[in-house]
Homo-oligomer: A and B are copies of this chain.
Amino acid sequence: MLDHLDDLHADLDAWLRIPSISADPAYAPEVARSAAWLAEALRRTGFPVVEIWPTPGAPAVFAEWPSAEADAPIALVYGHHDVQPVDPPELWVHPPFEPTRVDGPDGPELHARGAIDDKGNVAFHLLGMRAHLAATGRDTPAVTVKLLIEGEEESGSPHFAALLEQHKDRLACDVVVVSDTGMAAPDVPSAVTAMRGLADAEITLRGPAVDLHSGSFGGAVPNPLHALAELLAALHDDQGRVTLPGFYDKVRPLSDRERELMSRVPFDEQAWLAGPAASRATYGEAGFSTLERTGARPTAEVNGMWGGYTGPGHKTIVPAEAHAKLSFRLVADQRPEDVGPQLRAWVEANVPAGIEAEVHTPPGGVAPCASDLDSPAMGALLRAIGQAFDTEPGDVLFTREGGSGPEADLVEHLGAPLLFLGAGLPTDRIHSPNERVLLPMLYRGAEAAAHLWRELGAMRLR
């Protein structure tokens, strides 16, 4: 495998230089360039079928390397080539789109936006495939490997379900391998078993028709910023629970077995707080641990808020409008499409007289999803990860991923079970300044992928 490490580094470096930010329409050409670059890299790796699939938004990349054995299982790797915005840019130690190697306490790191989320996780499959062929002496992989790498994951994958439906036949598979997550720690082999869903919303409150002089009108007409503050302050109760009526109705309670499995994951809360969070206190829903709060419980988060005068100096106004962006993380069996109506009804019931409210929820959203802990494919994954970490399959722990992706769509449209194989770490600062990947984790990911194709190739899943 070491033969191809230089390829991996050169490839990842070039790819990370492309600022494929899908949330900002100004970067649409860069997202397209990222897709074209990936397609070319897959061709160089040897994939005989590589196609760029357009969507009404950003393009996806599809590739396929059929196994010579006609009855070999088919594995579909899912990832994404778009990245998060980078603001605030001044907090980046190295420019976000100039990948920079840094020696860290756990080994060499590569710093860049997308270093792990998700270009690093996709890139290790290129190396993994080469390693698999080299180790087994084969010309074609032991399983038919398909890749579907979308370009809108960081924007909520608005066109992904339609893309799956459109290309259902080409995407047919026996197992989906999601490569957009990670492991509990550098020395802790683990497999994700669930991801949370996501629903975004934007609230706009309107009061006066124009910004008013606060000396003439202040204290005598409703101020939309006051109304927004009251609304958002009431979004959680004093137990840290979300107050939208009906929000918890479909939440599947955590079983004792699941809580026991999660408690085995080594987790140093103080170290976690001291990491990217640099936070001095935990906070959250009463009665749940931090790992449960981030992995297994739904949340409501205000992601942005603005209104009135925010420039230099002071402007003594009662502003006309106030705005907030919110996101809700969901767990099985909540449905993202339920959140909009719940939020809309709650806002309408809680805005004061004289304030007009508008709640916008973009279509789509992301459903939560979970793996079957006892399936044969899960057995293959645990063996592959164990081999990559030189340990037993029984030492591979189960974790839950607090983030969201369109994994539930894959299950729903392709009818295949989910496995998760990712090389990220909780300390990788994804979505934050100074995102990084720990390079030894990337190599482990590639090794695990190489083993996984061999393990799955020995099975007959149909």
Contacts and interface: CB of A to CB of B under 8 A. Distances in A.
Given A155-B313, A225-B232, A229-B233, A210 B278 contact: yes
Contact of A208 (B222, B276, B404): B276
A318 B301 CA distance: 7
Nearest to A214: B301
Taking each of A210, A324, A329, which has the highest tally of chain B beta carbons within 10 Å of its own beta carbon? A210
B301 A219 contact: yes
Interface in A175-219: 196, 198, 200, 207-219
Contacts of A215: 196, 198, 294, 329, 401-404
Nearest to A298: B219
Nearest to A217: B277
B432 A314 contact: no
Interface string A12-24: 0000000000111
A361 to B, nearest CB: 11
B310 A323 contact: yes
Contacts of A196: 215
A211 B432 CA distance: 5
Nearest to A281: B354
A422 to B, nearest CB: 13
Contacts of A304: 225, 307-310, 315, 317, 319
Closest 5 pairs (CB-CB, A-B):
A215-B403, A281-B354, A219-B299, A209-B278, A304-B308
Interface string A218-245: 1111110110111111111000100000
A144 interface: no
Interface in A220-279: 220-223, 225-226, 228-236, 240, 273, 276-279
Interface string A285-321: 1000010011001011111111111111111111100
A280 B217 contact: no
B279 A213 contact: no
Contacts of A22: 313
Given A220-B283, A325-B314, A208 B277 contact: yes
A136 interface: no
Interface stretch (A84-92, A371-379, A443-451): A84-92
A273 B221 contact: yes
B280 A214 contact: no
- Interface SS majority for chain A: loop
Contacts of A282: 220-221, 354
Given A211-B433, A213-B430, A219-B294, A311 B279 contact: no
30 contacts: A23-B313, A85-B315, A155-B313, A155-B314, A200-B316, A208-B279, A209-B278, A210-B433, A210-B434, A215-B329, A215-B401, A215-B403, A219-B284, A219-B285, A219-B329, A220-B282, A220-B283, A225-B324, A226-B302, A229-B305, A232-B233, A280-B354, A281-B352, A283-B352, A303-B314, A303-B316, A304-B310, A304-B317, A316-B431, A317-B432
A403 B164 CA distance: 61
A329 to B, nearest CB: 6
